[in-house]
């Protein structure tokens, strides 16, 4: 594993280091800059992710969040990925129709605001 960076080196998504523990890939992320917090976390947050293949088509993802500034104790969540070629298709993000959602949501909100301002002036 490469040496850790100093506490003064921070980034939006933190600094990640990975290692293998048997058949599990473990990724520890620290050094967040606090500008993209997770559920109100602080820059002191430490994220530990574990990826374990349970079967040829099943992977477990488990993560632990530790941030004594935000929570009284660390907490862990877990879910599994089931590979199903019949159900899922990997689509390039740039081509996905979901990219238009935010533009439409914001333009609708601006139109509603203008409508409400016009009604308030009357």
Are 76 and 63 a contacting pair, CB within 8 Å? yes
pLDDT in tens, 44-66: 899 999 999 999 999 999 999 99
Domain that holds residue 39: 15-90
Residue 121 has phi, psi (to 5 degrees) of -75, -20
Domain total in the chain: 1
C-alpha 49/C-alpha 101 separation (Å) is 30
The structure's pTM equals: 0.66
pLDDT in tens, 14-24: 899 999 999 99
Residue 39 belongs to some domain of the structure: yes
pLDDT in tens, 67-113: 999 999 999 999 998 887 777 666 565 655 556 666 777 788 889 88
Residue 41 belongs to some domain of the structure: yes
Q: Which pLDDT does position 79 carry in this prediction?
A: 93
């Amino acid at each position: 594993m490469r040496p850790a960076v100093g506490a003064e080196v921070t980034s939006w998504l933190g600094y990640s280091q990975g290692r293998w523990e048997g058949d599990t890939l473990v990724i520890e992320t620290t050094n967040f800059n606090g500008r993209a917090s997770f559920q109100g976390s602080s820059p002191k947050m430490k994220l530990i992710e574990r990826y374990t293949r349970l079967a040829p088509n099943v992977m477990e993802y488990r993560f632990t969040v530790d941030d004594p500034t935000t929570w009284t104790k660390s907490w862990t969540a877990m879910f599994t990925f089931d590979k199903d070629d019949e159900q899922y298709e990997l689509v390039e993000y740039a081509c996905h129709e979901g990219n238009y959602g935010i533009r439409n949501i914001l333009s609708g909100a601006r139109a509603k605001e203008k409508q409400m301002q016009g009604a308030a002036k009357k």
